[in-house]
Structure 1
Amino acid sequence: MHEPTGLLAELVSIDSVNPDLVAGGAGEAAIADFCGAWLRGRGFEVHRLERRPGRPSLAAVAHGTGGGRSLMLNGHLDTVSLAGHTLRPRIADGRMYGRGTFDMKGGIAAMMTAAARATARGPLRGDVVLALVADEEYASAGTEEVLDSFTADAAIVTEPSHLQLTLAHKGFAWFDVQVLGRAAHGSRPDLGIDAIARAGHFLVALEELGRRLAQGPGHRLLGTGTVHASVIQGGEEPSTYPASCRITVERRTVPGESVTDAERELAAVLDQLAVNIPDFTYELTRGVHRDPFEADAEAPIVRTLARHAELALGYPPSIRAEPFWTDCALLDRAGIPSVLFGVDGEGAHADTEYVDLASLDRLTDILTGTIIEFCS
């Protein structure tokens, strides 16, 4: 019988730090090699997708006999910085400690084990597709690459969720606001326009926008959207009036809000400052943005997963939403009904990270039952 704890220990021992987050990070090549070999040995047809050299994703398929629904299980291979963690996982008090145990090699181990168990019983009618993707921690290029070639009738993303059904999460949009001034010698205020001082007016207005959002109507699970300034750069030297000040703004969106809405919101704030503040000029640039996500609570995959979760847990799983973004939104945008469900534990991106091993076993059982029922 395949068991997920040993597999998780092997996954954690493989360095897969995202090099877009940490210069010199190992990337996903070694862990993709390991997972590919493991899955081939269990009868899966493994496709290695590597549009960006050294950053592979895998799509591993167990083909069905036909006439059944296909199911994709999605999880990311990359981690954030090791940040003092070693590559030797440690087990104590029913927990496994180590980078990636919770976010999200625990989910990877559970879905690989569950898929192997489910297909070992004999061919299902529908295909089972494991998407083991690169780069989720930075730009989600891996899931985008998989979706260029593979689809399914439904998907489960095994990001950690404390064994609770996650039916929604926020999106995000990044904007650069460049407030423009005029460079001049520090002794000549008559010639200079201080871009940093004018940017201060924008920061105050941005804080007020955040208060208005917090007081507005919110999503039933996620509450309201948020906005904050995350990076500021400006000035050349102490004796010069700064010609520009650049502020990076992050807007977290809820279902019903779009990046276009967020951009118009910021532009309205900036336009009002241009009317009220002498010599206030700006440039607004849209950057990376991702949509929010909301699942249909009555979708077949949600109802099937909820039923098997209740069987394993002894009670109906809690319904939750997450403030952070996940690849569920990309799957949903591609027309694949999706839900997020994963292990219990703590410490995503933190100095101490662990997975509850009992939850890892339960997740594996829940996924196994879900695969068998959904794809039969």
Structure 2
Amino acid sequence: MRSQSSSIALRVLEELIKIDTRNPPGRTSEAVDFLENVFSSYETRVYEAEEGKENLVVEISKGKKTLMFNSHLDTVPAKGILLNPVFVDGKVYGRGSCDAKGCVAAIVEAFLNFEPEVGVKLSFTADEEVGGKLGLDYVLEKERADYVIVSEPFGSDSIGVAQAKVYSVDVIVKGSSGHTASADVKRGAIYKASKLIVSAVDFFSSIDRRDLESLQKLLEVPVEIRGRGVAAFNPAIIEGGVKRNVVAEKCVIKADVRMMPWISEEEIFSKLIDKDVELIVQGVLKPYGISFDGVDLNEDLKFFEIIKSSIASFGLKPKATVSLGVGDIRHARKRGIPAFYLGPKGENLHADDEFVYIDEIFRVAKIYRKIAEKLAEIT
């Protein structure tokens, strides 16, 4: 075990884990001050959409095209003890080590004292864990970028190319009311809702993955699923009933529903509805990713090829990844900017034992440099 390292990347990671950026409240000012000091010889700009939620942009080099490397400073909640970083067996443990302060460390390792012949900006942002509106979304209102890499812990050989569409759904189940002593509980709304939940979870988890083949053909690399499938139904909140001895006539399932961009929501939602079930969509997050949004496909493929060949130059076999999770690439892609995920692999993100692999930090840093060099060659 060790607490210090001679490497700038690991010193940065160690100090960032110690800085409390748990969200809520997600205050990033101290982390931004620390990184400003690390990049004290560079031009820096701070953007603050809300007090305490600071975002830092570092201007590394200027050129005809600008490549932005981004990662976020806020983390999910945690016990205070997890703000004490632990180095052991080639891993760094602690809140944010994996998601995403190890990613910040990789960006620092790549570009501190390295200025490629292309425009490069680094952005370290707030509020990704709660949507990124005050983070990268706000920064991109102020800063120009032609291409964006969002550093998330996908792994050095894995390019995150697409993310799910997400629905906030109320599933309203109706049943027959009555007294426990005389009514048929199986005709009540809660019993019916329980059966619907089991059926929906099983159905969503069984949806076929074969549509990955068209994406593999387009990208000419293997495509993998990050997570537990291509669709998910999470009955997150269940409300129903008025009294212990009364069979409920109504039950509301507040569900988080996710599916890959190519899946038809009409077809899936039709499986949830019958004569006693009403479905109300409360909110929608559109899908984002290569060939699934308004970003120019030729520009997307050009940037993807640069990333793919940069990974391959280090003897790795690049692959593309699609995920039911959502993150900050959408803030770039909704502006028409090609954007993908690429960052050092870790495990157990959001768990008490999350960690990042140390060798991944340095491997990804080299890939970042190579991407910038290759972009400089064609611009």
Return the TM-score normalized by structure 1: 0.80
* 2:217 aligned residue: none
Cα offsets for 1:298-336 (capped at 9, x unmatched): 73333333333333x3x1432031433232233223211
Provide the identity percentage.
25
Cα offsets for 1:33-92 (capped at 9, x unmatched): 3223433x1312313132x3333333333451x4x2100111111112224743221222
Sort the Cα spacing of 1:347 and 1:189 in 2 relative to 1 into closer, same or farther, 3 A.
closer
The answer to whether the aligner puts 1:135 opposite 2:140 as a matched pair is: no
* 1:256 aligned residue: 262
The answer to whether the aligner puts 1:150 opposite 2:143 as a matched pair is: yes
Cα offsets for 1:273-299 (capped at 9, x unmatched): 11xxxxx25351332524142376973
The answer to whether the aligner puts 1:206 opposite 2:200 as a matched pair is: yes
Letter in 2 for 1:203: I
Paired residues of 2:146 and 2:338 also in contact (CA < 8 A): yes
Structure 1 residue 26: deviation in Å?
A: 4.9
Distance in 2, Cα, partners of 1:288 & 1:356? 35
The answer to whether the aligner puts 1:284 opposite 2:285 as a matched pair is: no
Structure 1 residue 269: deviation in Å?
A: 3.5
Paired residues of 1:219 and 1:254 also in contact (CA < 8 A): no
Structure 1 residue 112: deviation in Å?
A: 2.8
Partner SS, residue 59 of structure 2 = strand
Q: Pairwise mapping of residues 216-255 of structure 1 onto structure 2 (< 5 A)?
A: 217-220=210-213, 221-222=223-224, 225-231=230-236, 232-255=238-261
* 2:29 aligned residue: 29
Cα offsets for 1:200-254 (capped at 9, x unmatched): 453355246426x624743233566323232222223202333431212333222
Q: Which runs of 5+ in 2 are unaligned?
A: 1-5, 214-222, 292-296
Structure 1 residue 199: deviation in Å?
A: 2.3
* 1:94 aligned residue: 90
Distance in 2, Cα, partners of 1:373 & 1:283? 49
Partner SS, residue 57 of structure 1 = strand
Sort the Cα spacing of 1:325 and 1:136 in 2 relative to 1 into closer, same or farther, 3 A.
same
Paired residues of 2:22 and 2:75 also in contact (CA < 8 A): yes
Distance in 1, Cα, partners of 2:320 & 2:239? 37
Distance in 1, Cα, partners of 2:129 & 2:369? 26
The answer to whether the aligner puts 1:49 opposite 2:48 as a matched pair is: yes
Structure 1 residue 355: deviation in Å?
A: 1.9
Paired residues of 2:224 and 2:321 also in contact (CA < 8 A): yes
Structure 1 residue 105: deviation in Å?
A: 0.7
Sort the Cα spacing of 1:225 and 1:16 in 2 relative to 1 into closer, same or farther, 3 A.
same
The answer to whether the aligner puts 1:300 opposite 2:302 as a matched pair is: yes
Sort the Cα spacing of 1:241 and 1:151 in 2 relative to 1 into closer, same or farther, 3 A.
farther
Partner SS, residue 309 of structure 1 = helix
Letter in 1 for 2:16: L
Letter in 1 for 2:163: K
* 1:60 aligned residue: 58
Q: Pairwise mapping of residues 264-283 of structure 1 onto structure 2 (< 5 A)?
A: 264-265=266-267, 267-271=269-273, 273-274=274-275, 280=276, 282-283=278-279
Structure 1 residue 160: deviation in Å?
A: 1.2
Cα offsets for 1:138-178 (capped at 9, x unmatched): 32322222233333111111111221131434313231222
Structure 1 segments, 4+ long, off by >6 Å, are 295-298
Paired residues of 2:178 and 2:246 also in contact (CA < 8 A): yes
Letter in 1 for 2:82: T
Sort the Cα spacing of 1:206 and 1:355 in 2 relative to 1 into closer, same or farther, 3 A.
closer
Distance in 1, Cα, partners of 2:37 & 2:104? 15
Alpha carbon RMSD of aligned pairs, Å? 3.2
Return the TM-score normalized by structure 2: 0.79
Cα offsets for 1:109-151 (capped at 9, x unmatched): 12133233223x7xx453x222222222232322222233333
